[in-house]
């Protein structure tokens, strides 16, 4: 799945560098996404999850 396929209100799982993020897209910006973590209910920007690059285990799919 690509970044441009993400939709507001949908839930996704991102795996990168051994970390797993379950999140819901809250707001879409021109070059980033504001998301809500489904486990901790914290808000963050999706670009923070790949700030250090994409690992060999990188995977993104809709829940």
Q: How many other C-beta atoms lie within 10 A of the C-beta of residue 50? A: 15
Three-state SS for 52? coil
Residue 48 has pLDDT above 70, yes or no: yes
Residue 23 bridge partners (DSSP): 12, 37
Of the CA atoms within 13 Å of residue 13, those in its CB half-sphere come to 8
* C-alpha span between 44 and 26 (Å, rounded): 10
**Domain around 39:** 3-62
CATH of the domain at 27: 2.30.30
Give 1's pLDDT tier (boundaries 50, 70, 90).
Answer: low
* Model pLDDT, residue 5: 87
Q: Which residues contact 11 (CB under 8 A, 6 or more apart)?
A: 22, 23, 24, 38, 62, 63
pTM as predicted: 0.88
| Domain count along the chain | 1
């Amino acid at each position: 799945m690509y970044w441009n396929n993400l939709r507001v209100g949908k839930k996704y799982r991102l795996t990168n560098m051994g970390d797993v993020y379950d999140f819901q897209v809250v707001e879409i910006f021109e070059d980033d996404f504001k998301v809500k973590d489904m486990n901790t209910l914290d808000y963050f920007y999706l670009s923070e999850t790949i700030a250090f690059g994409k690992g060999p285990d990188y995977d993104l799919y809709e829940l």
